[in-house]
Amino acid sequence: MANTITEPSESAPSLKGLTYPGVIVLTSVSMMIVVAVDIWSSGKIGIISNVGIVVVGLIAALKVRKSDYQAGIWVVPIAWTLAILTTGQFAPMRGGSFLREQVLHLAYGLAMHAWWILSATALSAAVALIRRGRRP
């Protein structure tokens, strides 16, 4: 009589996908690239960055592990802020001293694109929560 060997499944469904830090790093780097392309092509932070934050947020919400679904919610504003503070500095902004320019650049970058940031956050939150389902 032969013994039957059963192999365990590859991984649990909640363990497939990107981890919380992985989502934040990859989304932030992707958003920095999108902002760089936008500044290079148009000289300012505009529609390419706005559409980019929605796309990047949706991809993050779809690729995050179900157990780390919170990353799909918070990654959009984090990625936008990091992209503004790094790559976004290449967009021309006149404001006086260096510190004043940085504050103005951050405030302008957040205020002028607030509807896009909020919409992308809400959309990615909805996707992440739907993907998570009712499981605790």
Dump pLDDT digits (tens) for 20-40: 899 999 999 999 999 999 999
Q: Taking the model in full, what pTM does it have?
A: 0.81
Amino acid at 86: T
Summarised one tens digit per residue, pLDDT across range 49-95 is 999 999 999 999 999 988 888 888 899 999 999 999 999 888 877 76
Rounded CA gap, 89 and 123, in Å? Answer: 27
Rounded CA gap, 58 and 73, in Å? Answer: 10
134: pLDDT strictly greater than 60: no
pLDDT (0 to 100) of residue 113: 93
Half-sphere exposure of 117 (CA within 13 A, CB side): 20
Beta strand segments in 15-107, E: none
CA 30 and chain centroid, separation: 8
Rounded CA gap, 49 and 51, in Å? Answer: 6
Summarised one tens digit per residue, pLDDT across range 100-128 is 888 888 888 899 999 999 999 999 999 98
Q: Alpha-carbon dihedral of residues 83, 84, 89, 91, nearest 10 degrees?
A: 100
Per the prediction, the chain carries an average pLDDT of 86
pLDDT (0 to 100) of residue 25: 94
Residues in contact with 32: Cβ distance below 8 Å, sequence separation at least 6, in sequence order: 82, 83, 86, 87
